[in-house]
Amino acid sequence: MALRLVCDFDLRKDVLPGLRARRAASLASGARGGGPGILEDNYESLRILNVERNGNIIYTYKDDKGNVVFGLYDCRTRQNEHLYTFEKDLHVISCSINSERTLLAASLVHSAKEGRKNELQLGSKCLTLLVEIHPVNNVKVLKAVDSSIWVQFLYPQVESHPPPENHLLLISEEKYIEKFHIHVIQEDGNKVVLRDSGHLPRERVAEDFVWAQWDMSEQRLYYIVLKKSRSILKCIQFSANEKFNLMFEAPLDITLSASGFELVNFGCDDLQDQGNLSKHLTLCVFTNHTGSLCVCYSPKFDSWEKITYSVFYFHKGHSKTFTAALGSVDSLVTKGLTFLNLDYYVAVYLPGHFFHLLNIQHPDLICHSLFLTGNNEVVDMLPHSPLQSLSGSLVLDWCSGKLYRALLNQSYLLQFLWNTQLDCEKMAVLHCVLSCGRDPRFLEAKIIQWISENISTCHSFDLIQEFIIASSYWSIYPETSNIDKLLPYSSVLTWNTEIPGITLVTEEITLPFMKVHSFKGYWEKLNSNLEYVKCSKPCLLYNNSMVKREWHSLISEEKTGRRRSMVYVRNIFDNAMKVISNLEARNLEPRLTPLFQEEDYHQRLLIGLMVSELREHLLRHLQGIEKKKIEQMVLDYISKLLDLICQILETSWRTHHLHPWVLHFRRASAAEFTVFHIMTRILEATMSLFLPLPPGFHTLHTILGVHCLPLHNLLHYIDSGVLLLTETAVIRLMKDLDNSENNEKLKFSIIVRLPPHIGQKICRLWDHPMSSNIISRNHVKQLLLNYKKQLCMLLKDMTTWMQNLWRKQL
């Protein structure tokens, strides 16, 4: 399946065996009734309560007396620890522990003997308790109310030194959030107790909200308030310095009820009816390290024929509403939509119906996202139980008690790339595989093999172009997040082909209003993205148009005998040498193809010019980055471009078992025809984007062309510019071909097409009367030109003498 769920924690494997072992030991010792911590036979009460920022998992169960037992699973040591036991028959709503494991906060209600356990009984109280557990000591009541309360300790950014004060969030069903300040002191060695437990300072963080989400990894609180029937998304950032700031406000074009109340990621919320999630809306906020901010929203389902959901790409300034046809009306939707954060992607799936991978870094074109329907096996292989996306790539399955790490399955995606027939899916999977970033050399080799065998099967875009541009982009993307605004991510600018089963509506949205003025880390990147959208600047993506003009200008000057400053030209060739040296240093394996073994003036000129232009482009728009780092990025980027072309050629040669030097002259084999076709496609791809080629490419291409093409086709390719006659290629032709009738025609046809300064040099290498005739004719032509020049100078001197003589006579 496209999504691989790696299980990091399983209640039944990581907790249950230890509990059963404790029970067996207790029974063997003759204990009656089992004692605290003994699990009943059916272990139905064992469930996860919370996952803390450090990865530790709090779980609970009831012993044979009905007492509530709290345990903790340490994700680093993979050991279980007993935390506390309440000797009462209670039901736990929420629980959290501080980073030092000295304080435990829990909200509990009396269990109902009949009916649903999760429902508060009329007149019952919800107790929110703070317990000293290092060692077990006092219990303090924080709240005793009729409404439900959820608790969450804040975790400081630096955990090396215990903070003097702990901070606890209390989230009330009455739509307010409070922050408690809890001072602790140490007594009698390691005994930790509350200081001034009779009075714990607190402050109001948020109120009158209808929805809230907790980001445990980044310590952020997202919540929505209603203002004049408008939904306003707000975000609070909690810092290590005990402060919190309202970071932004953003209007959302969604409808929420003023009487509604929903929490996301505040522990296990089993108060909702998990069996009828399709009756509830789904709303969640996702971010990543590049400064993206996405709000994913799915309203209540009104129809069984199609499902609609929206994604607000605030970092791009627009939203997209997707409508997916379910295909099979007979299978009713009993589960809600699941949104999962996968860094550069958001996975959206409806069990048994569809699976979508939305590209959140580059959402402009729909072809960069992957849409799989229920007919694909990937949908059936995903869990059908509700999943909760935690921070990062963690995914929690409350029903089974499993914590997963969600990863894109590279093996499946590569297999899917080989099997799919749709161009849109080829495009989406190609980018998805490259963005994985795990073992890029292996992935590139697999993709190149696929391109070599499917080079003519794609009609909506150029496979080689797309691979070269996308792979080069991803090779340096992690170095700076702003590079996506300056370097092309795709060779495709527009996409008008419909995606089967998907309709899409794109709308502009109001950008978030930042409430602070000092930004660091993620917030600095988000603010940069928002400012870029606000400025509505023209497209800053680099292209080689300036290089193209300058390159043609230098070539034209070379033909006319005029040259630029030698310093300028030398700098260009120095740039090219840096790229080639950088490329050779990164590739230690010997090459099978004869590339980089000749000067190839034109390609080195193009490489050097691209270095100059790209460096100036990045220096102009990348602020705050060292010049040396930008220069190295440019070298790495252009080296990657050339290396990818070399890899495609290497793969073709190895696949078709060509000799390292294919410069022999006989009838071409089928393998040579295939490689020549691939090289022609590479040339077409690079010419339209005006990208450089490895020096020696044109020589090799021309030699293969001589093998594979009849003379008239060969000359047509030369005249149309598909084959470029390099000095190295022509010299090899003159030396290695004999003087048979056909070869004489070939040599003569090529010589007459050479520039004069190269043609004269080449003719001297051909020991043939035709060559002597050409040399003699050129020599006579030059003598006549010189005689004409001398005659003109003589006539000019005579005219000047006559004019002077006439003036003297006057």
133-176: pLDDT as tens digits: 877 778 888 998 988 999 999 998 765 566 678 899 999 999 99
The mean pLDDT value for 483-503 works out to: 90
Report the phi/psi class of residue 10: left, alpha or beta, with left for phi > 0 and alpha for psi in -120 to 50.
beta
In this prediction, residue 43 carries a pLDDT of 64
Spatial separation of the C-alpha atoms in residues 7 and 710, rounded to whole Å? 61
With residue 605 as reference, give the H or E element that holds it: helix 601-621
**What ranges do the domains of the chain cover?**
545-724
The mean pLDDT value for 542-565 works out to: 83
* Lowest-pLDDT range of 206-220, 397-411, 626-640: 397-411
- Residue 297: pLDDT over 60: yes
Residue with tokens 């022509």: 730
In this prediction, residue 271 carries a pLDDT of 42
pLDDT in tens, 593-643: 888 888 888 899 999 999 999 999 999 988 878 899 999 999 999 999 999
User: CB 643: neighbour CB atoms within 10 A?
Assistant: 23
pLDDT in tens, 343-371: 899 999 887 788 899 999 999 999 999 99
Spatial separation of the C-alpha atoms in residues 294 and 346, rounded to whole Å? 9
Q: Is the dihedral of CA 27, 31, 35, 41 positive or negative?
A: positive
- Residue 515: pLDDT over 50: yes
In this prediction, residue 268 carries a pLDDT of 73
pLDDT in tens, 45-59: 899 999 999 999 999
Are the beta carbons of 290 and 282 closer than 8 angstroms?
Answer: no
- How would you classify the pairing of strands 3-10 and 47-51? unpaired
Q: Residue 767 — pLDDT band, cuts 50, 70, 90?
A: low
Q: Residue 274 — pLDDT band, cuts 50, 70, 90?
A: very low
First-last CA distance in the chain: 105
In this prediction, residue 758 carries a pLDDT of 66
Spatial separation of the C-alpha atoms in residues 509 and 664, rounded to whole Å? 63
Are the beta carbons of 695 and 599 closer than 8 angstroms?
Answer: yes
Question: Between the ranges 16-25, 559-568, 604-613, where is the mean pLDDT highest?
Answer: 604-613
For the chain, what is the radius of gyration of the CA atoms?
36
In angstroms, what CA-CA distances link 668 with 371, 553, 716, 739? 44, 38, 19, 19
Q: Residue 292 — pLDDT band, cuts 50, 70, 90?
A: very high
The mean pLDDT value for 429-456 works out to: 89
